[in-house]
Structure 1
């Protein structure tokens, strides 16, 4: 295939992508989402055509800018940057055109200006030192040792085994484990070295000879060469492009030896594949599992957890109090001695200078786990400031990308875990000071209901309302991620064969990696809190949170005694129970208008996700099924009428103490029975509540925020990343 045929083929594929964004692509619905993957795979198989694709994408971006086709811009820009990161070498004049286009995006509203600024800053670094973006991505995703760039990332996939069939969980576990084992630290280091040298030297780099040389080196020599390349690339910020090339050429000649110029084989640019990121798959079986995995990411089990090693984070001096080195040594509260007097130290025994003022006498030294250390950390009183308050806060060197696999029910469980984590962090900051937490959602609808947690609602649209909202807000999410809703179950149920392994290992892993790498724009969802009051006065009210919906239904038919009592009182007025509803009406002026109504109802439904429009997050759409009684000649008849209202705060009571049932986030496991009242309001950020409580001790005004409280976020928002956020 000559160059003109290659260019026309790539142009045809890019135009097909754009038609898919318009919804006019002629392919079957099941094939949607494959176009971007096949395009990138074609370029990876023939890296010399990457510059052709970059040039075509730049032209299409400029055409979309002239034609005011803004819904094309972000998908084309993501496709362009993903190609540029993996391209073996891109001419500087082409990078300059992309950089100028990204700068022009700064005049547009969000999210265009946000993404344009991000990519413009990345391109500026890439133009100074080609290969930097590839190098940083591989280093962070595989936690390679690198002092100039010490960042680490990991992708955590969480799936609820009670919500997804076992076949899907097993297939994803097998695929992610195979992808993880296929990558070794030495192999990733060799990829970084080969890509950086080829990006700097271009056609003069003998990539085949370089790969053969790197394979023949020992692991120690590969790491030494890797550290030299990283230092050269990361240290190129203040130097000229020629100096950067000269440094890498010196490393290249040190590997292959002096060769005459132009001796490299003329086969076109041969790219270095981008290794799959470090992905771990987890079955979410424990409530605290998410928090524990994040702690172990910061403090691996292989890391030493002796008291001296934990001293920095646990601040042992503050926990144990002050003591001078020349004073008496302190003994652990956990006694390890025999209790015999002769086992205690003599009074005249001098105290040697020590790193930790905690001493143990005899016994077996117990090695703390990371979770034990964090438990000690959480137990420290939050009111006492740390010593050396002038020291800057710890830098966030770790990024955890949590991918939630499933429908709205697992997102409701995520809202619970996120609220619990924020409450823990409000008491004692540990994770959020050191960890950048990113959330992602891949909708998956099981082919058949499984487990006890399946709700009575049918249809993927009702179970995937969050994914539907994200698809309406971001067309690129709709094309690449929402299509996995039905693809993943099909791939998981394919018979075991080499073809199945080829398809799943490539497609699923690549799409998840692409989403985690390029989906950086969050869409914040309001978490709502609910207080549940029970029929039994001895039972304490329950407090919970939900993300998508709250459903109430009349619990059971009244008992024989209740029927007799109702007949005597004349209150048996058909189906349903009497309810009093008090709520604050949402008006355009944002003024609070308190309303109350009494009615007979069979239940109500509160939805937090808009069904059609993209705007309106943070407001509850409440539908109350009211029972209307009609007297006519044939007797008494009843009809159901749906009352709809919008609110942020609502209270529901049963004045007759008749119980009803409450279910949260469509999950039957989160069902409360024997309920006679509930209160729903936007969930407040726990750190805001804590600081507000402290500020109220020194201020008489309870309504006005004073001090630090004014600068804290008031509502608890759960951010879920997409490629563009919400496009206005």
Structure 2
């Protein structure tokens, strides 16, 4: 196939991709999302066509910008950048055209200007030091040791085994394990070296000889060359100069030193070859414990292999609490005692304590450690020890904790802010019910961080969502939804698909593909397959989907029929549903039958709410009615609607009298609110179900209060402020600059396109 035919074939594929965005693609809906994947795979088979694809994509972007085709821009730009990162070599002229186009996007509204700025910043570095984007992606995703670029990333896939079938979970586990088989730190370091050389030298790089030379080397020597290449590329990128030739000359020196002079001088002009982009590090988890997400994040920052007693971690992880952290001792064998204090509080009056000898701690630490004698001694586990937590911060570029100066008048050395070197990408597989669990876990994590900050300053937390609905669920968790379809259980995915067409094409289609994968017969060469579709799509999603859509988390306080039972507090993300409770006591049975006959079915309720109006002025209303239940929806039916609003539907029972007797009819009352209180005036209980999950059902409820969930750190700071200004009702000081509501961000490719 000559160059003209290749270009026309690629152009045809790109135009078909754009028609899919318009919904005019003639293929079956279940096959949508394959076009982008097959286009990239075709380029991987012949890397020399990368420049052709980039040139075509730039032309299509310029055409979309001139015409009224803005919905093409972000999908085309993501496709172009993914091609450019994986391409073996892109000319400076072509890279400059992409850079100039990204700068043009700065004049457009969000999210175009946001994505344009992000990509323009990356391309500025790539133009100076070709191969930088590929190198940084591999280093961070594989957690390779590198001082110039010490960042680490990991993908955590969470699936609820009670919502997905065992076959789906096994298929996903097998797929992710197969994607990790062929990659090792040594292989990834060789990939970085090969790609950097080819990106800088182009066809002047004898990639075959380079790969052979690296294969014959011991791992320690490969690591030395890898570090030299990383330093050269990162130094060129950080200098910010436009002298691309200096970077090329520097890498050519390393290239000739790595190969013998005869091999380096006889490079065949065989064209560009492909250097694969290895799959990111992925771990698959069945979400069986409420605090499992928090545990995995802690272990990501401080792995088990670096702890002092790995055998105890399994049982001690359950008892580990952040509030046990003490930041002024790095000793692992720390002891703490507790009795009522009777000293004056003056440091020089404290008696000298006798302690057990501890080798790692100095004399000053021995004397200054807090002692509360007379309590029960408990040897902390490695997860409870300060060394366990602080070792996760002793990465390159992070300073150790600074001791406070005890003498007055001595300036304290301000501790440098902890650099966020870790990025955890949490991928949720399932329907709206697993997102409800995520909202619970995220709220719990934010409360932990408010009590004792540890993860927040060190970890970038990114959330991703892939809808999956099992055809035949193996649990009773969906008994209450016998007729619910995919749309009912995947309202969040539907909203994201309407807001972001690229998410609709590439991610929402997996709702049908993943269950189909589970029913396919196993292949004997499963672990030899390199083009794993599901893993490739997940990798593409987490690499390119960086624009969050923030959903309001709602707090609910539930009061029960039994006065002795404490009120329950919970959160929900998608919906809250109430229904009349059938099971009542025998004492009330006879009176209830009589009352129901007179008043009709349902329960007498009093509803107090603040009406949402265009002027954003609060208007509190009350209403009393007889109802069989109500439904609060937090996800809007259209992407243009306000997310911070509950759409409440109350089924009211209307009694009418005529000549034939009394009759009852149901009327749906609809209202928009952010704060609502529902009470049963006749003390008859009802049930409350959160996020469509029957496992999160509360019974014997007589009252509930719903409001936007507040950010725990805001609540803490507000409480501290109120101590010093008791009569202050509005936010003052630092509080007014803090985020007030707790929002759950879910990443997509474009965010919400206006």
Structure 2 CA distance for partners of 1:261 and 1:571, relative to 1, 3 Å: closer
Aligned-pair CA distance for 1:565: 2.8
Question: Does the aligned pair in 1 maintain the 2:255–2:264 contact within 8 Å?
Answer: no
Structure 2 CA distance for partners of 1:565 and 1:316, relative to 1, 3 Å: same
Query: In the alignment, which residue of structure 1 is the partner of 2:626?
Result: 600
DSSP-derived class of the 2:521 partner = coil
TM-score w.r.t. the length of structure 1 is 0.91
Query: In the alignment, which residue of structure 2 is the partner of 1:135?
Result: 135
Structure 2 CA distance for partners of 1:71 and 1:374, relative to 1, 3 Å: farther
- Equivalent positions of 1:221-300 (< 5 A) are 221-236=221-236, 237-238=238-239, 240-259=243-262, 263-300=266-303
Aligned mates of 1:371, 1:20 — CA distance in 2: 53
Aligned mates of 1:202, 1:510 — CA distance in 2: 27
Query: In the alignment, which residue of structure 2 is the partner of 1:5?
Result: 5
Alignment pair present for 1:369 and 2:376 = no
DSSP-derived class of the 2:306 partner = coil
Query: In the alignment, which residue of structure 2 is the partner of 1:336?
Result: none
Aligned-pair CA distance for 1:557: 5.7
* 1:588-617 residue CA offsets vs partner (Å, 9 max, x unmatched): 111110001000100000000012343220
Structure 2 CA distance for partners of 1:27 and 1:621, relative to 1, 3 Å: same
Aligned-pair CA distance for 1:371: 5.3
Structure 2 CA distance for partners of 1:292 and 1:509, relative to 1, 3 Å: same
* 1:22-44 residue CA offsets vs partner (Å, 9 max, x unmatched): 00001111110100000001111
Aligned-pair CA distance for 1:691: 0.5
- Equivalent positions of 1:109-508 (< 5 A) are 109-236=109-236, 237-238=238-239, 240-259=243-262, 263-305=266-308, 314-317=326-329, 331=355, 353=363, 368-370=381-383, 373=386, 387=404, 388=412, 390-457=414-481, 458-498=484-524, 506-508=532-534
Aligned mates of 2:174, 2:506 — CA distance in 1: 22
Aligned-pair CA distance for 1:368: 3.8
- Equivalent positions of 1:69-88 (< 5 A) are 69-88=69-88
DSSP-derived class of the 1:512 partner = helix
- Equivalent positions of 1:654-669 (< 5 A) are 654-669=680-695
Aligned mates of 1:228, 1:375 — CA distance in 2: 32
Aligned-pair CA distance for 1:498: 4.6
Query: In the alignment, which residue of structure 1 is the partner of 2:546?
Result: 520
Aligned-pair CA distance for 1:354: 7.3
Structure 2 CA distance for partners of 1:477 and 1:499, relative to 1, 3 Å: farther
Aligned mates of 1:566, 1:328 — CA distance in 2: 72
DSSP-derived class of the 2:727 partner = coil
Query: In the alignment, which residue of structure 1 is the partner of 2:396?
Result: none
- Equivalent positions of 1:43-62 (< 5 A) are 43-62=43-62
Question: Does the aligned pair in 1 maintain the 2:552–2:573 contact within 8 Å?
Answer: yes
Aligned-pair CA distance for 1:177: 1.7
Aligned-pair CA distance for 1:533: 0.6
Question: Does the aligned pair in 2 maintain the 1:654–1:677 contact within 8 Å?
Answer: yes
Structure 2 CA distance for partners of 1:573 and 1:374, relative to 1, 3 Å: farther
Aligned-pair CA distance for 1:366: 6.8
Aligned mates of 1:286, 1:263 — CA distance in 2: 60
Aligned-pair CA distance for 1:373: 4.5
Query: In the alignment, which residue of structure 1 is the partner of 2:90?
Result: 90
Aligned mates of 2:613, 2:725 — CA distance in 1: 31
Aligned mates of 2:694, 2:36 — CA distance in 1: 38
Aligned mates of 1:637, 1:416 — CA distance in 2: 43
Aligned-pair CA distance for 1:503: 7.3
Aligned-pair CA distance for 1:634: 1.5
* 1:324-349 residue CA offsets vs partner (Å, 9 max, x unmatched): 9xx956526xxxxxxxxxxx99xxxx
Aligned-pair CA distance for 1:393: 1.9
Aligned mates of 1:69, 1:298 — CA distance in 2: 43
Question: Does the aligned pair in 1 maintain the 2:179–2:532 contact within 8 Å?
Answer: no
Aligned mates of 2:417, 2:618 — CA distance in 1: 40
- Equivalent positions of 1:579-728 (< 5 A) are 579-728=605-754
Q: Which runs of 5+ in 2 are unaligned?
A: 310-321, 337-344, 372-376, 391-401, 405-411
Aligned mates of 1:648, 1:247 — CA distance in 2: 61
DSSP-derived class of the 2:642 partner = coil
Aligned-pair CA distance for 1:454: 1.6
Aligned-pair CA distance for 1:447: 1.0
Aligned mates of 1:666, 1:568 — CA distance in 2: 33
Aligned mates of 1:252, 1:688 — CA distance in 2: 55
Aligned mates of 1:612, 1:354 — CA distance in 2: 63
Structure 2 CA distance for partners of 1:395 and 1:322, relative to 1, 3 Å: farther
Query: In the alignment, which residue of structure 2 is the partner of 1:64?
Result: 64
Aligned mates of 2:722, 2:245 — CA distance in 1: 61
Aligned mates of 1:596, 1:300 — CA distance in 2: 54
Aligned mates of 1:3, 1:258 — CA distance in 2: 35
Aligned-pair CA distance for 1:271: 2.1
Query: In the alignment, which residue of structure 2 is the partner of 1:38?
Result: 38
* 1:513-544 residue CA offsets vs partner (Å, 9 max, x unmatched): 00000000000000000000100011010000
Structure 2 CA distance for partners of 1:354 and 1:256, relative to 1, 3 Å: farther
Structure 2 CA distance for partners of 1:678 and 1:571, relative to 1, 3 Å: farther
Aligned-pair CA distance for 1:632: 1.4
DSSP-derived class of the 1:270 partner = coil
Aligned mates of 2:388, 2:686 — CA distance in 1: 39
* 1:423-450 residue CA offsets vs partner (Å, 9 max, x unmatched): 0001111001100000000000001122
Aligned mates of 1:290, 1:27 — CA distance in 2: 39
Aligned-pair CA distance for 1:174: 1.4
Aligned mates of 1:569, 1:168 — CA distance in 2: 50
TM-score w.r.t. the length of structure 2 is 0.88
Question: Does the aligned pair in 2 maintain the 1:175–1:504 contact within 8 Å?
Answer: no
Aligned-pair CA distance for 1:314: 3.7
Query: In the alignment, which residue of structure 1 is the partner of 2:395?
Result: none
* 1:252-303 residue CA offsets vs partner (Å, 9 max, x unmatched): 1012122488732222111211000000000001111100000000000111
Aligned-pair CA distance for 1:701: 3.2
Question: Does the aligned pair in 2 maintain the 1:190–1:222 contact within 8 Å?
Answer: yes
Question: Does the aligned pair in 2 maintain the 1:301–1:369 contact within 8 Å?
Answer: no
Structure 2 CA distance for partners of 1:11 and 1:638, relative to 1, 3 Å: same
Question: Does the aligned pair in 1 maintain the 2:256–2:264 contact within 8 Å?
Answer: no
Query: In the alignment, which residue of structure 2 is the partner of 1:381?
Result: none
DSSP-derived class of the 1:250 partner = helix
Structure 1, 601-610 or 167-176: larger mean CA deviation: 167-176
